A and B are shown apart, each in its own frame.
Chain A
Amino acid sequence: MRARRLGAILAGIGLLAGAAAAAQPVVDFEPAAVRRIRQHGPWPPPVARDPSNRVSGQARAVVLGQRLFFEPRLSATGTIACATCHVPERAWSDGRPRGAGLAPLDRNTPGLLDAALHRWFAWDGRSDSLWSQGLKAILDPREMGASARHVAAVVAADPTLRCLYERVYGPPAAAEPVLVDVGKALAAFLETVRSGRTPFDDFRDALLRGDRAAAARYPRAAQRGLRIFVGTGRCSVCHFGPRFTNGEFHDVGIPFVVAPGRVDGGRHEGIKRLRADRFNLLGPYNDDATGTAAIKTRHVEPHHANFGQFKTPSLRNVALTAPYMHDGRLATLRDVVRHYSQLDMERIHTHGEQLLRPLRLAEAEVDDLVAFLESLTDPRAASGPVPPAVAANCAGR
């Protein structure tokens, strides 16, 4: 069922990309709408190193990180790898409402495409770097359940892993620094997991350069959906910029009761965990001597309103990462659009913030918004990575 749906989306994207023969008139966009559309690009963005990670961008670290990403022995039981939940062929998510490592989890597994571009990591922003978020998954008893000592032992005991590690870092030291090195190598690999251009990007660029013929290849339904997105829907206020997210946290009316008597505090808990995190950017493992990378961590301020807030997800390749919302309660993009169409305002405004209102969309408008969201798909994003070409004897040293 899911495979059929995915196939239909990709087939649709292929049609979008190549259907010059079916060119139709371009929807009229007001100048303000065009300015907002401009802000959703260009794509792809330039690649930037992570200053907090001294091996960011290093080819050998990428090779080590890729090997580690698919290594189930990093988990306490030897059964769960990062790739168990972040499945490359599923846009680096798992297709389940809620994730499950060694135990069931409360939240949907986020995809990892373009993860290096985030400001905060995980639905609650508990981590301020990609490398420290990887460590949390390794150490969390419900995810991989490992310890620094376990990870260091796995690296030391496997000749290939040890060799790859030493090519990047030199001989392994104490367990905790090795754990951090593993996290930084994983992050170096994930920095290479990037999505490519989409039909929307081609439309945006064509619109901005005044190429109406090229712009007209973008289906009218997607154009109408885009007009709602940047116009009356005001979706682009939070789903802002080239990644279609402002990187911050909002309450969008999803109940945060996980089970009777148990709630998910969202960003409220995330900030607490961030501050208590030994591996945050204010700690000893931040490689950025300038202090720039840690500005966000030093200044982030908790508010009462953070309770029940979750990170605004990127919408790039969103059609590939069903189900949706932080707890995976909505099965399809259509469900998501309908959620925003029928918002429960009493549920949302408990903290006084006034951002959202029900969109009250007609069914045809729902169709248009879904068509637009599906046009944010890179046709190659679901194919996953090329397997690492790392010889068992660590050749190329």
Chain B
Amino acid sequence: MEERRGAVRRPPPGRALSRGPGRAGLVAAALLAGVAGAAESCEAPAGFAARERLASKDVVVMFRTVPEAIEVGRHFSVEAVVCATPPSQRLRVDARMPEHRHGMNYRPTIAAMGPGRYVARGMLFHMPGRWELVFDVERGGRTERLATDILLE
């Protein structure tokens, strides 16, 4: 079964969506971003071969899939390293097929594996086509969304 990755996205403003406490929060975020070189210097731990790196101004998500090759109809996990300022408190991982207007039939369980490290288990893509893989990073009362495409043939 072949798999092609979608193009790596450095999410433009439209793809890195924040939900949070409004103007005050945005100001705070901007201030934090000024000291948030942490995101730029984010590096994967030794032995973590990231499949892709997604980044916004002050959030970086590096992830890999286990097994590495995603196959239609086979469960897989997503292991993620999140660098964020302030640090991430929670991560949600989901996926959907925008053209078909449906998501997965399975809800992954997310476990924290240490500071900024998470694993989402129970993912399954049940069709070939374009899937949008979505990471919602919660930090400091805000949620920032990073997304990328995975094309399954």
Contact = CB atoms under 8 A, between A and B. Distances in A.
A and B from one complex: yes
25 contacts: A35-B153, A36-B153, A39-B128, A236-B128, A237-B127, A237-B129, A240-B72, A241-B72, A246-B72, A246-B126, A247-B126, A248-B126, A296-B106, A296-B122, A299-B106, A299-B108, A300-B105, A301-B105, A301-B106, A301-B107, A303-B105, A305-B102, A352-B102, A355-B100, A355-B102
Contacts of B2: 35
A221 interface: no
A249 interface: yes
Contacts of A39: 1, 128, 153
B106 A119 contact: no
Contact of B75 (A296, A303, A305): A296
Nearest to B71: A241
Contacts of A36: 153
Contact of B107 (A119, A237, A248, A299): A299
Interface string A125-153: 00000000000000000000000000000
Nearest to B123: A299
B105 to A, nearest CB: 6
B108 A246 contact: no
Interface in B94-129: 99-102, 104-109, 121-122, 124, 126-129
B105 A353 contact: no
Q: Which 7 pairs from chain A and chain B are nearest by CB?
A: A299-B122, A301-B107, A299-B106, A248-B126, A353-B102, A354-B101, A246-B126
A185 B138 CA distance: 49
A241 B108 contact: no
Nearest to A354: B101
B67 interface: no
A35 B99 CA distance: 21
A317 B14 CA distance: 48
Contacts of B128: 39, 236-237, 240
B37 interface: no
Nearest to A245: B73
A295 interface: yes
B72 A248 contact: no
Interface of A: 32, 35-36, 39, 119, 236-238, 240-241, 246-249, 295-296, 298-301, 303, 305, 352-355
A238 B75 contact: no
A342 B109 CA distance: 40
A36 B129 CA distance: 12
B109 to A, nearest CB: 7
Interface in B28-59: none
Interface of B: 1-2, 72-73, 75, 99-102, 104-109, 121-122, 124, 126-129, 153
B106 A300 contact: yes
Contacts of A305: 102
A295 B99 CA distance: 27
A173 to B, nearest CB: 33
A301 B108 CA distance: 9
A295 B66 CA distance: 14
Nearest to B105: A248
Contact of A240 (B100, B122, B127): B127
A119 B129 contact: no
A193 B72 CA distance: 25
A241 B128 CA distance: 10
Contacts of A249: 105
Given A39-B128, A240-B128, A352-B101, 20 more contacts: A36-B153, A119-B73, A241-B73, A246-B126, A247-B126, A249-B105, A296-B124, A299-B75, A299-B106, A299-B108, A299-B109, A299-B121, A299-B122, A299-B124, A301-B104, A301-B106, A352-B102, A353-B101, A353-B102, A355-B102
A295 B122 contact: yes
B138 to A, nearest CB: 20
Contacts of A301: 104-107
B23 to A, nearest CB: 34
B79 to A, nearest CB: 16
Contacts of A236: 128
A249 B124 CA distance: 14
Nearest to B98: A354
A162 B11 CA distance: 66
Nearest to A39: B1
Contacts of B72: 240-241, 246
A355 B73 CA distance: 17
